[in-house]
Amino acid sequence: MSEQELKGQWRELKGKVRQKWAKLTDDDIERISGKKDELVGTLQKRYGESRDWAEDQVREWQKEWSR
C-alpha cells in the first residue's frame, strides 16, 4: 500500500488502526491523517520503541491490508 493509497483510504482504515495499536488516541489518529511518517513517529512515541520497530509494524500492517 503506497502513501497515496493510505491517505485515500484513511477514513476506512482508522478503525483498523485503533484495533491494531490501542495506545493511539483519537487525537493521534486525526493528526496522523493517513501520513505514514506521522504514524511511524506516533507509534514510536506511544509505545516507547525504536523507529525501526515502528517502521516494521507499519510495513507489516500495510502488507495485511494490501492483500
DSSP assignment, residue 24? -
Count of domains for the chain: 1
Domain extent for 53:
3-66
Instruction: Tell me the three cell numbers of residue 30.
Output: 486525526
Tell me the HSE value of 22 on the side-chain side, using a 13 A CA sphere: 0
| pLDDT the model gives residue 30 | 93
Residue with cell 509494524: 57
Rg (the chain; Cα; Å): 11
Residue 64 has pLDDT above 70, yes or no: yes
Amino acid letter, 62: Q
CATH number at residue 51: 1.10.1470.10
pLDDT tens profile 3-31: 777 777 788 889 889 999 999 999 999 99
